[in-house]
Amino acid sequence: MVRSPKKEPAAVEMVRVHKWYGEFHVLRGIDLKVARGERIVICGPSGSGKSTLIRCINGLERHHKGRIVVNGVELTDDLGRIDVVRREAGMMFQQFNLFPHLTVMENCTLAPIWVRRLPRRQAEEIAMRYLERVHIPEQAHKYPGQLSGGQQQRVAIARALCMNPKIMLFDEPTSALDPEMIKEVLDVMVDLAREGQTMIVVSHEMGFAREVADRIAFMDEGQIVEMAPPKQFFAHPKHGRTKLFLSQILH
Amino acid sequence: MAAFVRRRMVPRLPPPRVERGLIAWLRWRLFATPLQAALTLVSLAVLITVLWPAIRFLVVDAVWQGDTREACLGATGACWPFVKAKFGQLIYGFYPAAERWRPDLVFALGAILLAPLLVPAAPLKGLNAVLFFAVYPVLSFILLVGGSFGLEHVETRRWGGLLITLVVAFTGIIASLPLGILLALGRRSELPVVRWLAVAFIEFWRGVPLITVLFFATYMLPLFLPAGVSFDALLRVLVGVALFSAAYMAEVVRGGLQAIPRSQYEGGYALGLPYWQVMGFIVLPQALTRVIPGIVNNFIGLFKDTTLVLIVAIFDLLGQLRAAFSDPAWATPTTLYTGFAFAGMIYFVFCFAMSRYSLFVERRLGVSAERL
């Protein structure tokens, strides 16, 4: 299900992408095209290369072979281009990666002020709007360490949204959270998905995947083994490795 | 197995009462056990045996009145008239007496500009910082050196005493922190050439003693410079001290940088912030607060190391003191002890102040740092 108009470039296009950590071949020929407005959930066993894949998309990891084009900009060794790509790609991390020495508000306004060159007041208005959207406007002047894990991850989402990114990358956003807090983060992500945000989510939350994903990609040994819309993925997995994985996590 | 279901939740209760007050404090902190009581008494005895002679020398038996050495000849305590007579020399060296209002003004301006900078609640921090770090050094230079604005030129050879100590220490402290930060970043750079240069610089300056640096700057550098080109001797020493302490500072800062997890860099980069902004807004503020004790340690060390300029014939506070000792007009049994006690107190006041202030800053920044 691809909704983007033909003229716009794909949100992400990866062509035969390879990457090694030393001798270890972590990504082996990844081909992935994500259209504007599309939601992809990537799952797979640990060590399968999911995180590396998503971190290659905003240049936190360098790929060694192949092409990665994000919003029409190809990632090369050119640092300026990498910054352009990162500006348009918000990223959420497993450990939130908030800046502990800055308040929630300062976390949210740092990049808009210094990268987007917005006046402080305007940046704060935008930040407030997104903090309301993730349901924690009252925490704006606290420090990250004073918030619960779920609240911190929602701040991280608001911080990314403040840059008005064309695409949102989630690297296991709920893996470090207590069970009671996972839902509050997933609810915010579901809202984003409903609003048409392009999202690539590395996650094992199969309920979330079933609800919002356009396609689910299953990775193993550095490759995308199977990719299908949720219904098909869960009802009729084709690859043996996918079947095994699903049988282990869906109980 | 019998199942258990709690029928009534336990309500919140206040904490148990603790004894408060002086008696309780003495009881629990100083005399809780026989061993502790014994240690307390022994410490007290040691304190008295050390402190009492010092107080006697400095205050009780000291000579406070008089204008010549005769006043102090029979004394067993400090000879304060000696300090009074030599005070100008100890503070200004041979700076012309008629021009001493200029160093005075520099001291006063420094104190006036520094005080509000150190108080967190004081307003206009940005303006204040610009005045102190940019305008003040230039103004001090003009005032102290003279030769313009109708001020008489005073050669740096005639400067001395506490003035020299403060000029060398202040320049070293102000220059070494930014230089040290740049060197530390360079040493961690992904660009090999930058990294090698930073490593070479740091290891070179850490590998040579400060005395060698001062000797080189004073006596050997002029030999390498083309004829006719010469720099002021004090300036050469200032540059040497600044580079020397920057190398040490770099390693302290690097220790702080290593304590910042990769995830903080990635959080910044993922937002599209370029290298210098990630460093300036995210990494350095956290790294520097973690190494405040090390930084201040360097400042204090540097403050006291300034006294080494003595060996290149620049007479700082200690140098002037030794010069004053050789004055036969003030040869008394306690001149030497009095002079060192006075100099010691001055050094102590500055170093202790730096130490206490750094503790204050640590506690204050701890408010946000503890909430990691």
Any idea where the domains of chain B sit in the sequence?
27-60, 70-371
Across the interface, whether the CB atoms of B372 and A93 are under 8 A apart is answered no
The tens digit of pLDDT for each residue in B207-216 reads 999 888 888 8
Output phi, psi for A249, to 5 deg: -100, -20
Evaluate if residue A6 carries a pLDDT over 70.
no
- Strand duo A215-220 + A39-43: pairing: parallel
Residues A197-226 have pLDDT tens digits of 999 999 989 999 999 999 999 999 999 999
Question: Using 50, 70 and 90 to split pLDDT, how confident is the model at B248?
Answer: very high
Exposure string over B125-135, b if 16+ CB within 10 A, otherwise e:
eeebeebbeee
DSSP secondary structure code for residue A138 in this structure: G
Residue B372 pLDDT > 50, yes or no?
Answer: no
Confidence at residue B247, expressed as pLDDT on a 0 to 100 scale: 93
**Residues A17-29, mean pLDDT to the nearest whole number:** 93
Residue B144 has pLDDT above 70, yes or no: yes
What pLDDT score was predicted for residue B367?
52
**Residue B112 pLDDT greater than 70, yes or no:** yes
pLDDT exceeds 60 at position A38: yes
pLDDT value of position B368 = 47
3-state class of A180 per DSSP?
helix
Which of these, A41, A14, A15, lies nearest to A198 by C-alpha position?
A41
pLDDT band at B235 (very low <50, low <70, confident <90, very high): confident
Question: Which of A93, A101, A163 has its CB closest to that of B272?
Answer: A163
What pLDDT shows up at residue A160? 94
Under the banding of pLDDT at 50, 70 and 90, the label for residue B371 is: very low
The average confidence (pLDDT) of chain B is 86
Best B271, B276, B292, B372 residue to mutate vs chain A (most A CBs within 10 Å): B271
pLDDT at position A132 is 93
Rounded to an integer, what distance in angstroms lies between the CA atom of residue B282 and that of residue B287?
9
- Write out the residues of chain B at the interface with chain A, using a CB-CB cutoff of 8 A: 263-264, 266-275, 277, 281-282, 285-286, 289, 368-372
Residue among A59, A69, A43, A52 nearest A18 (CA): A52
Indicate the SS3 state at residue B63. Answer: strand
Q: Is A72 helix (H, G, I), strand (E, B) or coil?
A: coil
| Contact between chains at B264 and A99 (C-beta distance less than 8 A) | yes
Shortest distance between the Cα of A163 and any Cα of chain B, in A, equals: 8
Work out the average pLDDT over A145-163.
93
Nearest CA in chain A to B370: A145
**B89 near B320, Cβ under 8 Å?**
yes
Identify whether the C-beta of residue A32 lies closer than 8 Å to the C-beta of residue A218: no
Residue ranges of the alpha helices (H) in chain A? 50-57, 79-87, 104-114, 120-133, 149-161, 179-194, 206-212, 230-235, 240-249
pLDDT band at A80 (very low <50, low <70, confident <90, very high): confident
Q: What is the mean pLDDT of residues B292-318?
A: 87
- List of residues 6+ apart from A2 with CB closer than 8 A: A35, A38
When CB atoms are compared, the residue of A83, A101, A146 closest to B272 is A83
Distance CA(A26)–CA(A221), nearest Å, equals: 7
Beta carbons of B267 and A93 less than 8 Å apart: yes
Q: Is the pLDDT of residue A238 over 60?
A: yes
- Least CA distance to B369: which residue of chain A? A101
Predicted confidence at residue A193, as pLDDT, reads 92
Question: A87 and B274: CB-CB below 8 Å?
Answer: no
Interchain CB contacts (distance < 8 Å): A and B: 75
Residue B314: alpha-carbon gap to chain centroid: 20
Do the chains contact at B273 and A114, CB–CB below 8 Å? yes
Asked whether residue A5 carries a pLDDT value surpassing 60, the answer given is no
- Mind listing the pLDDT tens digit for each residue in B66-87? 787 777 787 788 888 888 888 8
Closest of B267, B19, B303, B46 to residue B169, by C-alpha: B303
Q: Which of A86, A101, A145 sits opposite B270 (nearest CB)?
A: A86
Nearest by CB: B285 against A98, A101, A146: A101
* Lookup: tokens for B43: 């410490």
Q: Is A118 helix (H, G, I), strand (E, B) or coil?
A: coil
Other CB atoms within 10 Å distance of the CB of residue B23: 9
Mean pLDDT of B99-122: 85
Pick the CATH number of B70-371 from 1.10.3720.10, 3.40.50.2000, 2.60.120.560, 1.10.8.50: 1.10.3720.10
Element (H, E) at B34: helix B34-55
* pLDDT above 70 coverage of chain A, percent: 97
Q: Is B147 exposed, middle or buried (0-12, 13-18, 19+ CB in 10 A)?
A: exposed
Query: How much is the pLDDT for B58?
Result: 85
pLDDT of residue B14: 84
Write the residue in A79, A86, A95 that is nearest to B271 by C-beta.
A86
Which residues are bridge partners to A167 per DSSP?
A: A89, A198
Residue B177, pLDDT above cutoff 60: yes
In the numeric block, which tokens belong to residue A87? 């500006």
Under the banding of pLDDT at 50, 70 and 90, the label for residue B348 is very high
Residue B253 has pLDDT above 90, yes or no: yes
pLDDT in tens, B148-171: 777 778 777 888 888 889 999 989
What is the average pLDDT across A91-101? 93
The Cβ of residue A87 has, within 10 Å, a number of other Cβ atoms equal to: 22
Position A1 scores a pLDDT of 46
Q: Which one, of A146, A140, A143, lies nearest residue A127 by Cα? A: A140
Distance in angstroms (rounded) separating the CA atoms of residues B24 and B32? 10
Average pLDDT over residues A119-140: 93
- Cα distances (angstroms) measured from residue B200 to each of B203, B204, B216: 5, 6, 18
Q: How far is A114 from chain B (nearest CA, A)?
A: 8
Site of tokens 């902190």: B29
Higher pLDDT, residue B24 or B199: B199
B177-to-B170, B244, B278 alpha-carbon distances in Å: 11, 11, 19
- What letters, b where the CB count within 10 A reaches 16 and e where it falls short, cover B194-228? eeeebeebbeebeeeebeebbbebbeebeeeeeee
| B368:A100 CB<8 A | yes
| Whole-angstrom distance, CA of residue B91 vs CA of residue B163 | 6
